[in-house]
Amino acid sequence: MVADVALPEVAAARAGGPARNRPLARALRAPLTVLGLALVAAHLVLALFAPIIAPHSISAILTTGLTPPSPEHWLGTDQIGRDYLSRLMAGGRVALLVALSGVSVAVAVGAVLGLVAGYVGGWLDDAIMRLNDALMSVPELLLIAILVLTFGKEIWSLSIVVAIVYTPGVVRVARAATITVSALDFVRAAELRGESTAFVLLREIAPNLLGILAVEFAIRCSSAVLKISALSFLGLGISQPTPDWGLMVQEAMSVVFTDPWFLLLPALALSSLIIGINFAVDGLARAYGVTGAGAA
């Protein structure tokens, strides 16, 4: 979770347009940030176009199981004879889809609730934060297990689970940032002009939270991808015949000593995506002055 939120760009952003682009430009000058963005872009391309560029159908049984790499099947076939390269290329589609959709909802809902709680205050702030604290008091894995059993294992169900689990953390971050921005002069000036609460929230405060929310979105996506794969590994996520890296790792446990590449390849694919997101997040967090970044 983001432990401390700094807003060094707020005053500069209010002063003129070019300042809004400086943090991103600084981030793109860091080699690790560029590497992270490249890894994420590569995985997104694979997730979008895997059915087109994969050499074989991801579910077709083509030969006997556990065949070694060959010119026909570059990474061999899995336990029931499906092309492993094709399934590996498509293995990140579900995790990315669920993570992006669920975290998008979490950030949108969490930002609105955090803005309202941080600016309006009073009983509304108390109500939102007490409900928030109640959700965060439940151990995350227990909450996820309960929600999966409630909503099911379909993609849309897992997206709802991700949204519910990550919304409370976003609310706290957005609320803390809103309280900081609300005390600045340009917000006070808008209030003295007689602007409505909605105007102050949407035109004065929200634009200055975009950098923090972008970093928060990336942080939560990194965590969500890992958790979705962990759910599949534990049998609480996506099930066959849909390819998923966590499920592929779980299936490879039975042949890890005879055919170790069946475990190593999906693990490396998942690791490269997580590392890419984390490198990108670290660069963006430093550029936008968000310190103490880490997934909740």
128-169 pLDDT tens trace: 999 999 999 998 888 988 999 899 888 899 999 999 999 999
Residue 215: CATH number of its domain? 1.10.3720.10
pLDDT value of position 291: 57
Per-residue three-class SS string for 191-256: HHCCCCHHHHHHHHHHHHHHHHHHHHHHHHHHHHHHHHHHHHHHCCCCCCCCCCHHHHHHHHHHHC
What are the pLDDT digits (tens) for 81-135? 899 999 999 888 888 999 999 999 999 999 999 999 999 989 999 999 999 999 9
Range of the domain at 204: 4-12+36-291
Evaluate whether residue 218 is within a structural domain: yes
Q: Is residue 20 part of a domain?
A: no
CA distance 13 to 293: 22
Using the structure block, give the residue that is written with the tokens 């890296």.
245
Cis peptide before 8 (omega within 30 of 0): no
pLDDT of residue 13: 44
Whether residue 120 is contained in a domain is answered as: yes
Inside any domain, residue 18: no
pTM equals 0.83
Assigned domain for 28 exists: no
Mean pLDDT of the chain: 86
Please give the tally of structural domains in the chain. Answer: 1
Q: Indicate the helix (H) or strand (E) that contains 5.
A: strand 4-5
Rounded to whole angstroms, the Cα distance separating 259 from 68 reads 9
Distance CA 24, CA 180 (A): 22
Evaluate if residue 275 carries a pLDDT over 90.
Answer: yes
Q: What confidence score (pLDDT) does residue 8 get?
A: 47
Q: Is it the case that residue 18 has pLDDT exceeding 60?
A: no
- The encoded tokens of residue 145 equal 């297990």
More confident residue, 22 or 221: 221
Beta bridge partners of 260: none
Query: 264 in a domain, yes or no?
Result: yes
Percent of the chain with pLDDT over 90: 44
Structural contact between residues 103 and 162, judged by C-beta atoms closer than 8 angstroms? yes
Q: Which residues pair with 77 in a beta bridge?
A: 83
| 258 is a domain residue | yes
Condensed to tens digits (0 to 9), the pLDDT of residues 212-239 reads 898 889 889 989 999 998 888 888 888 7
Asked if 86 and 54 touch (Cβ cutoff 8 Å), the reply is yes
Res. 75: pLDDT tops 50: yes
User: CB 32: neighbour CB atoms within 10 A?
Assistant: 13
